[in-house]
Amino acid sequence: MSEGNDADEIGFTWVNYLLNDVLNPIAAESDAQLVAIGHSFGTRIVLGAHYVRDILLRSQPVADTPVTLIGMQAAFPAGRFISQEGKEHQYVRANKGDARVIITSSDSDKANSTICYYNFLGWDIGTGYVGGPCGLEQVKKNPELYGKSITVLKTNKAGQPANPPILKQVSLYNASPFVGCELEGTSSGSHSDVYDQEMGHFLGEIIRSVNE
């Protein structure tokens, strides 16, 4: 997908600079909470800017300021967090640093269900976009592969997370209870069903939990 490649490129370059060289120092100086939020391919941009920050040459390394990265309905393979094979390993070797990484996923997100393949051994590592049913099922059914990197957490219909995010792992929230309908004038199932009060509640709870 060319759009996905474009998102990676933007995250590795311009947003890398914006997040790490502009916003990071401001947050550090003002003691403010730094939060970066993306949706779909925007999640690739946000996470790429953090995980692959060292791709830019700098006179000084990026200061490891605490940051909360939130990806709604992430449009990239779950294998980015565990596999060093092929093209989808941008995150696995990177320094996650002092970051909380939160991703939402939904069983009814059709936009993120288009990349879904099997082989004779089961799931292919690197397939199944983590924001949709294939990636979510892949992570849940393969704890031996993903358990050290990703934890699946629950939510309810009001957007309330059952648990706060985990600092040393990727917190993958099953948002199916509140991201589960197709809005009028949109397509791809619930992929665009994130601009509502339930998601607002979820985001607020996640952001507040970081300071508790």
Q: Is residue 172 part of a domain?
A: yes
Q: Is residue 3 part of a domain?
A: no
Rounded distance, CA 96 to CA 90, Å?
12
Q: Is residue 123 part of a domain?
A: yes
Number of domains in the chain: 1
Q: Name the pLDDT band for 182 (thresholds 50, 70, 90).
A: confident
Question: What are the strands, taking DSSP E only, across 40-199?
Answer: 67-72, 99-105, 118-119, 122-123, 150-154, 170-174
Q: Is residue 56 part of a domain?
A: no
Residue 102, phi then psi, degrees to nearest 5: -125, 130
Enclosing domain of residue 178: 33-41+64-210
Rounded distance, CA 170 to CA 165, Å?
8
Q: Is residue 25 part of a domain?
A: no
Strand partners, 161: 155
Q: What is the tens place of the pLDDT at every residue in 85-142?
A: 656 666 875 556 778 999 999 999 888 875 555 444 444 444 578 999 888 888 888 8
pLDDT for the residue numbered 184: 82
pLDDT for the residue numbered 199: 96
pLDDT for the residue numbered 116: 55
